[in-house]
Amino acid sequence: MTSTFRFVLPVAAGALALSSAFAHATSATGDAAQLKEDQAGLVRMDKQLKADEMTLKADAKEGKPAAESKDAQKLGEDRRALASEEKVLTTDRKQIQADEKTLKADTREGRMAAESKDAEKVYQDQQYIKGEKKDIAADKAKLTADRKPS
């Protein structure tokens, strides 16, 4: 190796080492600053998380839909609709039982309420015809009696 090259090589190696150390120091300073910034961001996000959790709990307690996802809202609506339908079904079952008792009692006693409106009309028509037949028979008997010489 030539003497210049021997001189330049250690200088270049020293400069490289110095720049690497400076870059490392700058990098360490940058890393420390980044760490400090990340820690501050973590504190901010932790505060925001706590505030959001409190809002979520308050909204859920008040039943606000914003506290639920759309799927949870739909599920809640379905559950309320189902509960309403079950209530109606329970009421209808009780009404059916009461109506069946009334029908059996009316049928046993021969009441017209046990018949449909059409059947009731037919019954009334039959009663009218029977009455008319009785009136006709009475009129014929009277007419026959009037024609007999006394």
Q: pLDDT tens across 3-20, in order?
A: 554 555 565 566 555 555
Domain match, 73 and 123 both: no
Domain match, 49 and 34 both: yes
Domain match, 121 and 134 both: yes
Domain match, 97 and 54 both: no
What pLDDT, on the 0 to 100 scale, is given for residue 15? Answer: 58
Task: Annotate 70-91 with DSSP letters as a single string.
Answer: HHHHHHHHHHHHHHHHHHHHHH
CA distances from 29 to 15, 22, 26, 34, 84 (A): 20, 10, 5, 9, 66
Domain match, 10 and 63 both: yes
Q: Can you give the length of the chain in residues? A: 150
Domain match, 60 and 3 both: yes
Q: Which of 9, 36, 67 is the last residue of a domain?
A: 67
Q: From the first residue on, what is the mean pLDDT of each consecutive set of 10 residues in the chain (150 residues)?
A: 52 58 60 84 87 84 72 82 88 88 80 70 89 91 80
Domain match, 74 and 97 both: yes
* Count of the separate structural domains present in the chain: 3
Within 10 A of 59 (CB to CB), how many other CB atoms are there?
A: 14
What pLDDT, on the 0 to 100 scale, is given for residue 5? Answer: 46
What pLDDT, on the 0 to 100 scale, is given for residue 127? Answer: 92
Q: Are 123 and 115 within 8 A, CB to CB?
A: yes
Domain match, 73 and 43 both: no
SS3 content of the chain, % helix, strand, coil (to 5): 90, 0, 10
Residue 42, domain extent: 1-67
Q: Are 32 and 26 within 8 A, CB to CB?
A: no
What pLDDT, on the 0 to 100 scale, is given for residue 134? Answer: 92
Domain match, 1 and 63 both: yes
